[in-house]
Structure 1
Amino acid sequence: MKSNLPDMFPGFDSVNVETASVRLFCRVGGSGPPLLLLHGYPQSHVIWHKIAPRLAERFTLVLPDLPGYGSSSVPPLSDDHAAYSKRAMAEAVTEMMQALGHSRFLLAGHDRGGRVAYRLALDRPEAVERLAVLDILPTSDYWDRMDRQFGLKIYHWMFLAQPAPFPEKLIAASPIRFLEHTLASWTGDKTLSGFSEEALAHNRDWFCQPDRVSATCEDYRAGATVDYQHDRADQEAGNRIHMPLLALWGEKGIANSVEDPLAIWRTWCPEAEGAALPCGHFLPEEAPDRTCQALLDFFTTRS
């Protein structure tokens, strides 16, 4: 990435952590119990910049770029997409947290990061104290509900999951236009007004790199194959999320495409709580105060 990009997290350390499968770049700052925040598509850890200062007053924040995104390394593509499965990503961020001295932590994820987060909670429940997911439903629920209306709203799930290099070649024709259209189309007001120019500069920088665009497509190819299989296996086995779970979604977001997002989450975690916020898909940037307060209330509650 460019060295002259604005620092979105003054006072935070920049750390590179080598795991068994990938090098993860992260920003670390604050004090208190560890809180891992995972971003989604098509963004990086920068999505948390509006709420990080306030959260850092209560928690030690760890803000990584997911594999292939931002400044983390790019795992190779494969026919089975295994390196980009949410199980593999969850294992990598768990290794990262252990390397940073945190064997158990609080966890929140937005979009693709939310999928890594709930997979981590299912696979490594001993590591997660509390879990928050932002504007998602579980992957298998999205695919099982895919119809005309839903398919139009999340067309990118099918487009990005096409075999390489078809989607990445099309995106490469105009990556910034694709990026900005995608960001704007998922907001409540269908504009870029909720994103700071500094955050957009970070996004534009890494999204112009062909290997990273390909990595993000591989993320979705994993979602359509191995991630779906992992979810269905858990459902069929009766596996559930047992730690406290908070689901937040935007009133004009993607998860609100179904009638009752919380009811779906309660099939995975019977005691889940949740609420809609007045925004689109990007809660930490469109509704930072409400999102931050909801996370503070949830993560400062002790079971």
Structure 2
Amino acid sequence: MKIVGQGQPVLLLHSSLSSHKQWLPLAAQLGEQYQLLLPDLLGYGSQPVAEFQAAPKHQLAVEADAVLAQIPAAIRQQPMLLIGHSFGGAVVLHLARTGKIKLKALILYEPVAFHLLAHSADAEAIRLTAEVVALSQQMPDLPAWDAARLFVDYWQQQDYFQHLPARMQQQMAAQVWKVPQDFAALIGEPATLMDYQQINCPILLLRGSESRRSALFISELLQGVWPEASVKTLPAGHMGPVAAAELVNAQILEFIRALD
């Protein structure tokens, strides 16, 4: 885990097939006033590469505990600001609802809590659940490069992956077998909307107007149980914290400064 700065702790969790480096532009703006905790989630960045699994199994509890194990005990005793994007946002939700961390505030950019879709009887949620499950089940049947392409193009746009630099494609293909495990954890998380309704702290919920409906639907469900949350829709896609970092980080900085 990379730890920089001094002050109140801020834990930043990245998306699938990414690393803590996606938050470095934000960290550069916060480091003078806060102590930033920047872990790589299991299977990504500096962590050991996940092995291929034909039938992936994983749990957000395992992911969250792996993050907590890297945080010094003295820091864990302090109220913490949690920031999470996509899969990292779902890990943040797990940490918040289970009380594993003392909360100062939550900042979430499209947390992909797919279990909320799976638990919903809404017709659109059922369709979106089937879409996500089909994607997750298709990936292990593909070569690594094709699996990475399928995942990236789902969240960005068709043929986006093939135009990335070759080195980035290779890195994503090398780490792609963690992604189906992430899907398994996200879909199988034993939590409901009522569990998240109990979270009691300031919340900023960000989403992109150009994002996938599966992510936006989850944000709408969470907004419904967090009437006091600050909710903003930005002209960006699901990968806004990376592709539109300046825009997203400006909203995060404004929210954090208002807390003090």
1:251 to 205, 209, 215: 209
Whole-Å Cα distance in 2 between the matches of residues 260 and 224 of structure 1? Answer: 12
Q: TM-score, normalised by structure 1?
A: 0.69
Distance (whole Å) between structure 2 residues aligned to residue 238 and residue 218 of structure 1: 23
Q: Does 1:101 align with 2:75?
A: yes
Residue 181 and residue 168 in structure 1: after superposition, are their counterparts in 2 closer, same or farther (change >3 A)? closer
Is the CA contact (8 Å cut-off) linking 1:242 and 1:269 kept in structure 2? no
Mark the runs of 5 or more structure 2 residues left unpaired by the alignment: none
Does the aligned pair in 2 maintain the 1:255–1:261 contact within 8 Å?
Answer: no
Superposition RMSD in Å: 3.5
CA distance in 2, matches of 1:252, 1:284: 13
Q: Does 1:37 find its partner at 2:12? A: yes
Q: CA deviation at 1:98?
A: 3.3
Which residue of the partner structure matches residue 146 of structure 1?
125
Q: How many residue pairs were aligned?
A: 254
Task: Note the C-alpha offset of 1:218.
Answer: 1.7
Cα drift, residue 65 of structure 1: 1.2
Equivalent positions of 1:97-246 (< 5 A) are: 97-99=71-73, 101-104=75-78, 105-124=80-99, 126-136=101-111, 138-143=113-118, 144=120, 145-148=124-127, 150=128, 155-160=131-136, 162=137, 167-172=139-144, 175=145, 177-180=146-149, 182-187=151-156, 191=160, 201=167, 203-209=168-174, 212-225=175-188, 227=189, 230-232=190-192, 235=194, 240-246=198-204
What SS does the aligned partner of 1:60 have? Answer: strand
Q: Among residues 51, 55, 63, which one is paired with 1:89 in the alignment? A: 63
SS for the counterpart of 1:301 is: helix
Tell me, in whole angstroms, the C-alpha distance in 2 between the residues paired with 1:258 and 1:134: 10
**AA of the residue aligned to 1:170:** L
**Which amino acid in the other structure matches residue 39 of structure 1?**
H
Contiguous gaps of at least 5 residues in structure 1: 1-25
Mapped to 1, the partners of 2:215 and 2:114 lie a distance apart of 14
Structure with the larger helix share: 2
What letter matches 1:88 in structure 2? V
Matches of 2:60 and 2:92, distance apart in 1: 8
Q: What do residues 228-257 of structure 1 show as CA deviations (whole Å, max 9, x unaligned)? A: xx213x73x786111111110011013586
- SS of the equivalent of 1:300 reads helix
Using the TM superposition, give the Cα deviation of residue 291 of structure 1 relative to its aligned residue in structure 2, in angstroms: 1.1
Residues 187 and 252, structure 1, Cα contact 8 Å, conserved in 2:
no
Amino acid at match of 2:88: G
